Structure 1
Amino acid sequence: MASGAGKSAAFALLILNVVLYFVVIAIAAWAVNHGIERSRETASHLSPPARLFPIYYPFGNMATGFVIIFSLIAGVVGFTTSITGINNVIQWNAPSLQAASASSLVSWLITLLAMGLACKEIDVGWTESNLRTLETMLILLSGTQLFCTAAIYVGVEDLAARTTVLM
Protein backbone atom coordinates (compact mmCIF):
# COMPACT_ATOMS: atom_id res chain seq x y z
CA MET A 1 0.00 0.00 0.00
CA ALA A 2 1.32 3.39 -0.87
CA SER A 3 2.11 5.73 1.97
CA GLY A 4 -0.55 8.28 1.02
CA ALA A 5 -3.32 5.69 0.75
CA GLY A 6 -2.62 4.22 4.17
CA LYS A 7 -2.41 7.64 5.72
CA SER A 8 -5.67 8.83 4.20
CA ALA A 9 -7.51 5.60 5.06
CA ALA A 10 -6.32 5.69 8.67
CA PHE A 11 -7.15 9.40 8.95
CA ALA A 12 -10.67 8.95 7.55
CA LEU A 13 -11.38 5.98 9.80
CA LEU A 14 -10.10 7.86 12.84
CA ILE A 15 -12.41 10.80 12.08
CA LEU A 16 -15.34 8.39 11.69
CA ASN A 17 -14.42 6.68 14.97
CA VAL A 18 -14.28 10.00 16.83
CA VAL A 19 -17.87 10.72 15.80
CA LEU A 20 -19.11 7.19 16.55
CA TYR A 21 -17.38 7.03 19.92
CA PHE A 22 -18.86 10.41 20.85
CA VAL A 23 -22.34 9.06 20.11
CA VAL A 24 -21.62 5.99 22.25
CA ILE A 25 -20.44 8.24 25.10
CA ALA A 26 -23.57 10.38 24.83
CA ILE A 27 -25.99 7.44 24.87
CA ALA A 28 -24.16 5.59 27.65
CA ALA A 29 -23.89 8.75 29.77
CA TRP A 30 -27.61 9.36 29.30
CA ALA A 31 -28.36 5.79 30.37
CA VAL A 32 -26.16 6.06 33.48
CA ASN A 33 -27.78 9.39 34.41
CA HIS A 34 -31.26 7.98 33.85
CA GLY A 35 -30.41 4.91 35.91
CA ILE A 36 -29.05 6.99 38.79
CA GLU A 37 -32.07 9.29 38.83
CA ARG A 38 -34.58 6.43 38.73
CA SER A 39 -32.76 3.96 41.02
CA ARG A 40 -34.22 5.06 44.32
CA GLU A 41 -37.91 4.69 43.46
CA THR A 42 -37.52 1.72 41.11
CA ALA A 43 -35.20 -0.47 43.18
CA SER A 44 -36.85 0.14 46.57
CA HIS A 45 -39.21 -2.81 46.16
CA LEU A 46 -36.59 -5.29 44.91
CA SER A 47 -35.06 -8.09 46.96
CA PRO A 48 -31.57 -7.51 48.48
CA PRO A 49 -29.38 -9.19 45.82
CA ALA A 50 -30.75 -6.87 43.14
CA ARG A 51 -30.26 -3.81 45.36
CA LEU A 52 -26.55 -4.43 45.92
CA PHE A 53 -25.54 -2.75 42.66
CA PRO A 54 -25.86 1.01 43.26
CA ILE A 55 -27.42 1.73 39.86
CA TYR A 56 -30.58 -0.10 38.87
CA TYR A 57 -31.68 0.38 35.28
CA PRO A 58 -35.47 0.46 34.95
CA PHE A 59 -35.16 -0.43 31.27
CA GLY A 60 -33.54 -3.29 29.41
CA ASN A 61 -32.69 -6.61 31.03
CA MET A 62 -30.16 -7.98 33.52
CA ALA A 63 -27.22 -7.45 31.13
CA THR A 64 -28.00 -3.75 30.64
CA GLY A 65 -25.85 -2.51 33.53
CA PHE A 66 -22.76 -4.26 32.24
CA VAL A 67 -23.32 -3.11 28.66
CA ILE A 68 -23.77 0.51 29.68
CA ILE A 69 -20.75 0.64 31.99
CA PHE A 70 -18.43 -1.12 29.54
CA SER A 71 -19.70 0.91 26.60
CA LEU A 72 -19.01 4.10 28.55
CA ILE A 73 -15.47 2.89 29.26
CA ALA A 74 -14.99 1.82 25.63
CA GLY A 75 -16.37 5.14 24.42
CA VAL A 76 -14.05 7.24 26.54
CA VAL A 77 -10.98 5.14 25.73
CA GLY A 78 -11.85 4.97 22.04
CA PHE A 79 -12.58 8.69 21.76
CA THR A 80 -9.30 9.55 23.46
CA THR A 81 -7.21 7.13 21.40
CA SER A 82 -8.87 8.29 18.19
CA ILE A 83 -8.06 11.93 18.95
CA THR A 84 -4.44 11.11 19.77
CA GLY A 85 -4.32 8.72 16.80
CA ILE A 86 -5.26 11.56 14.46
CA ASN A 87 -2.27 13.54 15.74
CA ASN A 88 0.00 10.50 15.37
CA VAL A 89 -1.19 9.72 11.84
CA ILE A 90 -0.66 13.34 10.79
CA GLN A 91 2.98 13.09 11.94
CA TRP A 92 3.42 9.73 10.12
CA ASN A 93 6.77 8.69 11.53
CA ALA A 94 7.77 5.40 13.15
CA PRO A 95 7.41 6.28 16.86
CA SER A 96 4.06 8.03 16.43
CA LEU A 97 2.63 5.25 14.25
CA GLN A 98 3.72 2.60 16.73
CA ALA A 99 2.05 4.53 19.55
CA ALA A 100 -1.10 4.90 17.44
CA SER A 101 -1.12 1.19 16.61
CA ALA A 102 -0.77 0.13 20.24
CA SER A 103 -3.49 2.46 21.48
CA SER A 104 -5.73 1.51 18.58
CA LEU A 105 -5.34 -2.17 19.44
CA VAL A 106 -6.22 -1.57 23.10
CA SER A 107 -9.22 0.50 22.08
CA TRP A 108 -10.38 -2.23 19.69
CA LEU A 109 -10.10 -4.90 22.39
CA ILE A 110 -12.15 -2.87 24.88
CA THR A 111 -14.72 -2.17 22.17
CA LEU A 112 -14.89 -5.91 21.44
CA LEU A 113 -15.60 -6.56 25.11
CA ALA A 114 -18.43 -4.02 25.11
CA MET A 115 -19.73 -5.43 21.82
CA GLY A 116 -19.75 -8.94 23.27
CA LEU A 117 -21.80 -7.76 26.22
CA ALA A 118 -24.15 -5.96 23.83
CA CYS A 119 -24.59 -9.17 21.85
CA LYS A 120 -25.40 -10.97 25.09
CA GLU A 121 -27.96 -8.31 25.93
CA ILE A 122 -29.54 -8.79 22.51
CA ASP A 123 -29.60 -12.55 23.14
CA VAL A 124 -31.19 -12.23 26.60
CA GLY A 125 -34.19 -10.24 25.46
CA TRP A 126 -35.97 -7.08 24.44
CA THR A 127 -34.44 -3.62 25.00
CA GLU A 128 -35.53 -0.03 24.36
CA SER A 129 -34.68 1.84 21.17
CA ASN A 130 -31.89 3.85 22.85
CA LEU A 131 -30.20 0.66 23.96
CA ARG A 132 -30.63 -0.88 20.51
CA THR A 133 -28.91 2.20 19.11
CA LEU A 134 -26.07 1.75 21.59
CA GLU A 135 -25.77 -1.93 20.69
CA THR A 136 -25.73 -1.13 16.98
CA MET A 137 -23.10 1.56 17.44
CA LEU A 138 -20.88 -0.85 19.39
CA ILE A 139 -21.16 -3.48 16.66
CA LEU A 140 -20.31 -0.88 13.99
CA LEU A 141 -17.43 0.48 16.05
CA SER A 142 -15.86 -2.93 16.48
CA GLY A 143 -15.65 -3.21 12.69
CA THR A 144 -14.44 0.31 11.99
CA GLN A 145 -11.89 0.12 14.79
CA LEU A 146 -10.61 -3.16 13.35
CA PHE A 147 -10.14 -1.54 9.93
CA CYS A 148 -8.52 1.50 11.52
CA THR A 149 -6.10 -0.69 13.47
CA ALA A 150 -5.29 -2.64 10.31
CA ALA A 151 -4.67 0.58 8.34
CA ILE A 152 -2.31 1.88 11.01
CA TYR A 153 -0.45 -1.45 11.15
CA VAL A 154 -0.11 -1.42 7.35
CA GLY A 155 1.34 2.09 7.66
CA VAL A 156 3.82 0.86 10.27
CA GLU A 157 4.90 -2.03 8.02
CA ASP A 158 5.13 0.24 4.97
CA LEU A 159 7.24 2.77 6.86
CA ALA A 160 9.48 0.01 8.24
CA ALA A 161 9.96 -1.48 4.75
CA ARG A 162 10.83 1.89 3.25
CA THR A 163 13.25 2.60 6.10
CA THR A 164 15.13 -0.71 5.64
CA VAL A 165 15.37 -0.19 1.87
CA LEU A 166 16.91 3.24 2.38
CA MET A 167 19.51 1.93 4.82
Structure 2
Amino acid sequence: MAGEETKGVASILMFLNLCMYAIVCAIGGWAVNDAIERGFVIGPGLVLPANFSPVFFPMGNAATGFFVIFSLIAGVVGAASILAGINHLRSWNAETLPSAASPALVAWTLTLLAMGFACKEIEQHGRNACLRTMEAFTIILSVTQLLYIAAIHGAAGVAPPRR
Protein backbone atom coordinates (compact mmCIF):
# COMPACT_ATOMS: atom_id res chain seq x y z
CA MET A 1 0.00 0.00 0.00
CA ALA A 2 2.85 2.39 0.76
CA GLY A 3 4.18 1.88 -2.75
CA GLU A 4 0.89 3.00 -4.30
CA GLU A 5 0.77 6.11 -2.10
CA THR A 6 4.32 6.98 -3.13
CA LYS A 7 3.36 6.40 -6.75
CA GLY A 8 0.52 8.90 -6.37
CA VAL A 9 2.85 11.48 -4.83
CA ALA A 10 5.38 10.91 -7.60
CA SER A 11 2.75 11.39 -10.30
CA ILE A 12 1.54 14.65 -8.73
CA LEU A 13 5.10 15.95 -8.40
CA MET A 14 5.81 14.83 -11.96
CA PHE A 15 2.88 16.83 -13.32
CA LEU A 16 3.71 19.86 -11.14
CA ASN A 17 7.36 19.86 -12.18
CA LEU A 18 6.50 19.43 -15.86
CA CYS A 19 4.21 22.47 -15.71
CA MET A 20 6.78 24.57 -13.84
CA TYR A 21 9.63 23.57 -16.16
CA ALA A 22 7.42 24.51 -19.14
CA ILE A 23 6.78 27.94 -17.57
CA VAL A 24 10.50 28.44 -16.92
CA CYS A 25 11.26 27.52 -20.55
CA ALA A 26 8.56 29.88 -21.84
CA ILE A 27 9.79 32.85 -19.82
CA GLY A 28 13.42 32.01 -20.60
CA GLY A 29 12.60 31.78 -24.29
CA TRP A 30 10.95 35.18 -24.13
CA ALA A 31 14.00 36.66 -22.39
CA VAL A 32 16.41 35.23 -24.97
CA ASN A 33 14.21 36.47 -27.83
CA ASP A 34 14.05 39.93 -26.25
CA ALA A 35 17.82 39.97 -25.77
CA ILE A 36 18.39 39.03 -29.40
CA GLU A 37 15.96 41.65 -30.71
CA ARG A 38 17.09 44.48 -28.41
CA GLY A 39 20.68 43.39 -27.95
CA PHE A 40 23.89 45.23 -28.59
CA VAL A 41 24.41 45.86 -32.31
CA ILE A 42 27.76 47.01 -33.64
CA GLY A 43 28.40 48.14 -37.19
CA PRO A 44 31.30 47.19 -39.44
CA GLY A 45 34.59 48.85 -38.59
CA LEU A 46 33.58 49.58 -34.99
CA VAL A 47 35.25 47.92 -32.01
CA LEU A 48 33.53 46.33 -29.08
CA PRO A 49 33.46 48.37 -25.88
CA ALA A 50 35.71 47.27 -23.05
CA ASN A 51 32.81 46.18 -20.82
CA PHE A 52 30.94 44.22 -23.53
CA SER A 53 29.66 40.83 -22.43
CA PRO A 54 28.60 38.11 -24.87
CA VAL A 55 25.88 37.21 -22.39
CA PHE A 56 24.31 40.67 -22.51
CA PHE A 57 20.63 41.00 -21.66
CA PRO A 58 18.94 44.40 -21.99
CA MET A 59 16.80 43.69 -18.92
CA GLY A 60 17.84 42.75 -15.43
CA ASN A 61 21.41 42.99 -14.16
CA ALA A 62 24.80 41.39 -14.74
CA ALA A 63 23.63 37.94 -13.57
CA THR A 64 20.55 37.86 -15.82
CA GLY A 65 22.25 36.37 -18.87
CA PHE A 66 23.74 33.47 -16.97
CA PHE A 67 20.51 32.91 -15.03
CA VAL A 68 18.35 32.81 -18.16
CA ILE A 69 20.69 30.49 -20.08
CA PHE A 70 21.10 28.00 -17.25
CA SER A 71 17.38 28.15 -16.46
CA LEU A 72 16.59 27.27 -20.07
CA ILE A 73 18.99 24.34 -19.98
CA ALA A 74 17.58 23.17 -16.64
CA GLY A 75 14.03 23.55 -17.96
CA VAL A 76 14.62 21.46 -21.05
CA VAL A 77 16.52 18.74 -19.17
CA GLY A 78 13.90 18.81 -16.40
CA ALA A 79 11.03 18.36 -18.83
CA ALA A 80 12.91 15.51 -20.52
CA SER A 81 13.52 13.86 -17.14
CA ILE A 82 9.81 13.97 -16.42
CA LEU A 83 9.09 12.35 -19.77
CA ALA A 84 11.65 9.66 -18.94
CA GLY A 85 9.98 9.21 -15.55
CA ILE A 86 6.64 8.33 -17.14
CA ASN A 87 7.99 4.87 -18.05
CA HIS A 88 9.04 4.32 -14.45
CA LEU A 89 5.64 5.47 -13.24
CA ARG A 90 3.92 2.92 -15.50
CA SER A 91 6.16 0.02 -14.42
CA TRP A 92 6.89 1.20 -10.86
CA ASN A 93 9.62 -1.32 -10.08
CA ALA A 94 13.31 -1.29 -9.26
CA GLU A 95 14.34 -2.23 -12.81
CA THR A 96 13.06 1.05 -14.33
CA LEU A 97 14.31 3.25 -11.49
CA PRO A 98 17.80 4.04 -12.88
CA SER A 99 16.41 5.26 -16.21
CA ALA A 100 14.16 7.70 -14.34
CA ALA A 101 16.48 8.68 -11.52
CA SER A 102 19.54 9.53 -13.61
CA PRO A 103 18.01 12.29 -15.75
CA ALA A 104 16.05 13.55 -12.73
CA LEU A 105 19.28 13.94 -10.78
CA VAL A 106 20.97 15.76 -13.68
CA ALA A 107 17.95 18.06 -14.00
CA TRP A 108 18.04 18.75 -10.27
CA THR A 109 21.74 19.69 -10.32
CA LEU A 110 21.18 22.01 -13.29
CA THR A 111 18.20 23.52 -11.46
CA LEU A 112 20.41 24.11 -8.42
CA LEU A 113 22.94 25.85 -10.66
CA ALA A 114 20.20 28.07 -12.11
CA MET A 115 18.93 28.71 -8.58
CA GLY A 116 22.40 29.93 -7.60
CA PHE A 117 22.31 32.45 -10.43
CA ALA A 118 18.76 33.39 -9.41
CA CYS A 119 20.02 34.16 -5.90
CA LYS A 120 22.83 36.26 -7.36
CA GLU A 121 20.34 38.11 -9.54
CA ILE A 122 18.07 38.77 -6.54
CA GLU A 123 21.05 40.09 -4.61
CA GLN A 124 21.96 42.59 -7.35
CA HIS A 125 18.41 44.00 -7.79
CA GLY A 126 17.06 45.71 -10.91
CA ARG A 127 14.96 43.05 -12.64
CA ASN A 128 11.44 42.97 -14.06
CA ALA A 129 8.37 40.95 -13.05
CA CYS A 130 8.98 38.17 -15.59
CA LEU A 131 12.48 37.57 -14.27
CA ARG A 132 11.20 37.58 -10.68
CA THR A 133 8.61 34.97 -11.69
CA MET A 134 11.29 32.83 -13.30
CA GLU A 135 13.46 33.16 -10.19
CA ALA A 136 10.59 32.02 -7.98
CA PHE A 137 9.82 29.02 -10.18
CA THR A 138 13.49 28.04 -10.29
CA ILE A 139 13.82 28.20 -6.52
CA ILE A 140 10.60 26.21 -6.03
CA LEU A 141 11.72 23.66 -8.63
CA SER A 142 14.96 23.05 -6.77
CA VAL A 143 12.86 21.73 -3.88
CA THR A 144 10.10 19.94 -5.79
CA GLN A 145 12.58 18.19 -8.10
CA LEU A 146 14.38 16.84 -5.03
CA LEU A 147 11.05 15.63 -3.63
CA TYR A 148 10.29 14.02 -7.00
CA ILE A 149 13.63 12.18 -6.91
CA ALA A 150 12.82 10.93 -3.41
CA ALA A 151 9.33 9.88 -4.48
CA ILE A 152 10.43 7.85 -7.50
CA HIS A 153 12.85 6.00 -5.26
CA GLY A 154 9.81 4.78 -3.34
CA ALA A 155 9.51 1.79 -5.65
CA ALA A 156 13.03 0.58 -4.92
CA GLY A 157 12.13 -1.01 -1.60
CA VAL A 158 8.73 -2.33 -2.67
CA ALA A 159 8.67 -5.99 -3.63
CA PRO A 160 6.59 -6.93 -6.66
CA PRO A 161 3.23 -8.49 -5.81
CA ARG A 162 3.16 -12.28 -5.60
CA ARG A 163 0.90 -14.23 -7.90
Aligned residues: 158
> SS in structure 1 opposite 2:96?
helix
Task: Report the alpha carbon displacement of residue 154 of structure 1 after superposing the two structures with TM.
Answer: 2.5
Partner residue, 1:91: 91
1:31 matched to 2:31? The reply is yes
What are the within-5 Å matches in structure 2 for residues 53-64 of structure 1?
53=54, 55-64=55-64
Moved more, 71-80 or 117-126: 117-126
Label 1:118 to 1:13 Cα distance change in 2 as closer, same or farther (>3 A).
same
Write the distance in 2 (CA, Å) between the matches of 1:56 and 1:102. Answer: 33
The letter for the 1-side match of 2:39 is S
Cα deviation, 1:13-50, whole Å, max 9, x if unaligned, reads 001111000000000011001001111359x9972341
**TM-score normalised according to structure 1 size:** 0.87
How large is the RMSD of aligned CA atoms in angstroms?
Answer: 2.1
**TM-score normalised according to structure 2 size:** 0.89
1:9 matched to 2:13? The reply is no
The letter for the 1-side match of 2:85 is G
Write the distance in 2 (CA, Å) between the matches of 1:37 and 1:112. Answer: 29
What are the within-5 Å matches in structure 2 for residues 51-130 of structure 1?
51=53, 53=54, 55-130=55-130
The letter for the 2-side match of 1:37 is E
Task: Report the alpha carbon displacement of residue 94 of structure 1 after superposing the two structures with TM.
Answer: 1.7
1:89–1:97 contact (8 Å) kept in structure 2:
no
Write the distance in 1 (CA, Å) between the matches of 2:151 and 2:76. Answer: 22
Cα deviation, 1:48-101, whole Å, max 9, x if unaligned, reads 3415x1x52111000000000000000000001111112221111222122212
Write the distance in 1 (CA, Å) between the matches of 2:72 and 2:132. Answer: 15
Label 1:135 to 1:45 Cα distance change in 2 as closer, same or farther (>3 A).
farther
Label 1:131 to 1:47 Cα distance change in 2 as closer, same or farther (>3 A).
same
The letter for the 2-side match of 1:130 is C
The sequence identity of aligned pairs, in percent, is 45
